[in-house]
Amino acid sequence: DTEVTQTPKHLVMGMTNKKSLKCEQHMGHRAMYWYKQKAKKPPELMFVYSYEKLSINESVPSRFSPECPNSSLLNLHLHALQPEDSALYLCASSRRDTSGNTEAFFGQGTRLTVV
């Protein structure tokens, strides 16, 4: 089972709203990631969690707040977003071996529209 599940699949929110994106995996992976993908562009890394601890924050604005409640769950809390934050948000996970992280498995993403 190589499934990463993201909810919701689509989200429309106003600039004053607070919403959360959820990601779940049951593969026993200890590294989890949030990526942002604009149309016709490759994914861009936002955050990396390793063993439930935030290990990388790629200078993401504070209106994006990640949370890793346990080894299977990853959330992305959204507040006061801008229209330019509209994008596909992808969650991924990977296991760690002696060489570091192995291949990442991605969810289907949440298509976010900020109005």
> How do beta strands 4-7 and 105-106 pair?
unpaired
Instruction: Decide: is 48 part of the binding site for other proteins (CB under 8 A).
Output: yes
Q: Which stretch binds other proteins (CB under 8 A): 19-27, 61-69, 71-79, 86-94?
A: 86-94
Cβ proximity to other proteins: between 44 and 79 the closer is 44
Instruction: Decide: is 77 part of the binding site for other proteins (CB under 8 A).
Output: no
Could you say which DSSP state residue 9 is in? Answer: S
As beta bridge partners, residue 12 has: 113
Instruction: Decide: is 105 part of the binding site for other proteins (CB under 8 A).
Output: yes
Q: Is 4 helix (H, G, I), strand (E, B) or coil?
A: strand
Near other proteins by CB under 8 A: residue from 14, 54, 77, 102: 102
Query: Under rule CB under 8 A, how many of the chain's residues touch other proteins?
Result: 28
**What is the distance, to the nearest Å, from the Cα of residue 56 to the centroid of all Cα atoms in its chain?**
12
Minimum distance of other proteins from residue 91's CB (angstroms) = 10
Could you say which DSSP state residue 52 is in? Answer: T
CB 88 within 8 Å of CB 10: no
CA distance 18 to 95: 31
Q: Kindly list the residues in this chain that would bind other proteins in the complex (CB under 8 A).
A: 2, 31, 33, 40-43, 45, 48, 50, 55-56, 88, 90, 92, 94, 99-109, 111
